[in-house]
Amino acid sequence: MKNSIALKEERAEVLAKLEEIKDLATSESRDLTDDENVNVDAFLSSIDKIDTKIERAEKVEESLKRAATLSSAIGNNEVKEERKMTSSFKLSKALNQYVDGKLDGVEAEMHQEAKRNNPGFTGLALPTSVLAEKRANPQLVSNADELIATEVFDWMGTLQARLVMGDLATFISGLSSNVQLPVLSGTTAGWGTEVADATKAATDVGGSTLVPHKLGSYMDISKMLMAQTSGNIEAIIREDMNNAIAAALENAILSDSDGSGASPLGVFDQAGQSIAGGTMTLAKILEMESDIATNNAEGTCYITSPLGRSLLKALVGNPGITGSETGYGQPLWRDDNTMNGYFARATSNISDVCTAGGAATSGGDESGIVFGQWRDLVVGQFGSALDVVVDPYSQSISGEIRIVINSFWDTAFRRANSFCRGSLK
């Protein structure tokens, strides 16, 4: 079905043909011929039919416009209601009531909705939005006709802020099934004459598939703390739960896991480049950078352990580059947490018992270090809620409740040669 604009353009073309016949007869000071009368009648009939179509098209378009406006209003109302419920949700109340087996109110409603959307959960189904830090978002609709001071609950953003590579890697949330990440490789090009065959691309499509791995993290909370109703206590519980998940996730990402077991892939297994272990030198740092650059990647950040950072801060040399000195007359690891012009970060989730070159993250005596183009690390989170098991028994002798938080994650390294691992001591 043509829209009203297209039909009006069609009508204008027919009118132009009528105008041509009239102008010709007028210029020759005569009446219309028999053939011209037949054409005029046909054109007038065509215009009547087009007018009917235009009227119908305009009615359809107006109906669709009203429906879209109504749908948008309904959608905005649903968003408002969801945010209102999230704001009203009390985590401490939900945990206490779940222990007693009598959830009610907003907490019961959100638990039931989360269980419907995430079948298979066995504990308290906790929507991820309730663990998110609140941030102001004054605009509710895209055209800014309606400005409302709302609060946005971005749990993934909250979690990323606790990860040393949180603002560097690529995060995907709310996955519901396995996801393949295609990677193109082997593309070639070549010059030829005007009629020569194009060079065969020899492009391979590879890539990893994100598959859910269960991440179980836990925290113990005092029953006396749970009995408090202060808003600050609520924030403390949320903070501890987020920290528990972030620490376990970061530990897996910075491990040497090959993904065959319970843990997802770790960077020390996946890194396609490596340097020798032992005493760190400027030459080795430059080697890490050049190894990645040679593979058409641009490193964004060094990550090592706190011990590795102290060793790099101790690497100070006089002006003039040598194999064992920085050549800058300053520590290699600067006070602004950069190293050789790149970001540099430290976390205790990098092992200090790596074997030489970071080949393994246990069984050695060296601190691991990784340099990479971190956006090629993809971290996927599955589901829209967390499965929280509230255990009031195992820690009862110490007056605590154990909260086990089950979430589902996977990692993928889209290009192994975007990462270089090493070790130092």
**How confident is the model over 191-207, as pLDDT tens digits?**
555 555 545 544 444 56
140 has a pLDDT exceeding 70: no
Give the max Cα distance, the chain. 113
Is residue 123, in this structure, part of any structural domain at all? Answer: no
Q: Which amino acid is at 109?
A: E
- Per-residue pLDDT averaged across 326-344, rounded? 83
Q: Which residue has the higher pLDDT, 84 or 178?
A: 178
> What's the confidence (pLDDT) of residue 294?
93
Is residue 164, in this structure, part of any structural domain at all? Answer: no
CA angle 201, 203, 205 (to 5 degrees): 160
CB 118 within 8 A of CB 383: yes
Is residue 88, in this structure, part of any structural domain at all? Answer: no
Residues 278 and 417 in one domain: yes
CB 206 within 8 A of CB 413: no
CB 386 within 8 A of CB 131: yes
Greatest mean pLDDT among 173-182, 317-326, 413-422: 413-422
Q: Which domain holds residue 250?
A: 213-424
Dihedral sign from CA coordinates of 306, 310, 313, 318: negative
Nearest-Å Rg of the Cα atoms of the chain is 33
Given pLDDT bands bounded at 50, 70 and 90, which one contains residue 185?
low
24 has a pLDDT exceeding 50: yes
Q: Which residue has the higher pLDDT, 102 or 367?
A: 367
Instruction: Tell me which of 82, 117, 150 is where a domain ends.
Output: 82
CB 111 within 8 A of CB 125: yes
Distance (Å, whole) CA 411 – CA 425: 29
Strand pairing report for 134-139 and 147-153: antiparallel
Would you mind telling me the total number of residues written for the chain in this entry? 425
Structural domain count, the chain: 2
> What's the confidence (pLDDT) of residue 139?
41
pTM of the model: 0.68
For tokens 């896991």, name the residue: 257
Is residue 179, in this structure, part of any structural domain at all? Answer: no
189 has a pLDDT exceeding 60: no
Alpha helix (H) ranges present in 141-262?
155-160, 223-226, 231-253
Instruction: Tell me which of 82, 115, 148 is where a domain ends.
Output: 82
CB 92 within 8 A of CB 237: yes
- Give the model confidence (pLDDT) of 27-56 as tens digits: 888 888 988 899 889 989 998 989 998 888
Q: What is the mean pLDDT of the chain?
A: 81
Distance (Å, whole) CA 394 – CA 400: 9
Given pLDDT bands bounded at 50, 70 and 90, which one contains residue 343?
very high
- Per-residue pLDDT averaged across 127-143, rounded? 58
Specify the CATH number for the domain of residue 321: 3.30.2320.10
Token readout for 187 is 């593309």
Is residue 188, in this structure, part of any structural domain at all? Answer: no
For tokens 């065969």, name the residue: 200
**DSSP annotation string for 385-411:** EEEEEEESSTTGGGTEEEEEEEEEEEE
Is residue 185, in this structure, part of any structural domain at all? Answer: no
> What's the confidence (pLDDT) of residue 326?
53
Distance (Å, whole) CA 266 – CA 409: 13
> What's the confidence (pLDDT) of residue 203?
42
Distance (Å, whole) CA 121 – CA 102: 18
CB 312 within 8 A of CB 357: no
Residues 6+ apart with CB under 8 A from 256: 266, 268, 269, 358, 359, 360, 361, 362
> What's the confidence (pLDDT) of residue 423?
95
CA dihedral 326, 329, 334, 339 (to 10 degrees): -30
Is residue 197, in this structure, part of any structural domain at all? Answer: no
353 has a pLDDT exceeding 90: yes
- Give the model confidence (pLDDT) of 235-290 as tens digits: 777 888 888 888 889 999 999 999 888 899 999 999 999 999 998 888 898 899 99
User: In degrees rounded to 5, what are phi and psi of residue 137?
Assistant: -145, 90
Is residue 125, in this structure, part of any structural domain at all? Answer: no
Given pLDDT bands bounded at 50, 70 and 90, which one contains residue 399?
confident
Q: Which residue has the higher pLDDT, 353 or 126?
A: 353
Given pLDDT bands bounded at 50, 70 and 90, which one contains residue 78?
low
In the chain, pLDDT over 70 holds for what percent of residues? 80
Looking at the DSSP bridge assignments, the partners of residue 184 are: 205
> What's the confidence (pLDDT) of residue 239?
82
Angle between helices 4-27 and 34-88 (to 10 degrees): 160
SS3 361: coil
Instruction: Tell me which of 25, 47, 82 is where a domain ends.
Output: 82
> What's the confidence (pLDDT) of residue 194?
58
The lowest-confidence range among 4-18, 65-79, 330-344, 382-396 is 65-79
> What's the confidence (pLDDT) of residue 368?
96
Distance (Å, whole) CA 401 – CA 95: 10
> What's the confidence (pLDDT) of residue 342?
93
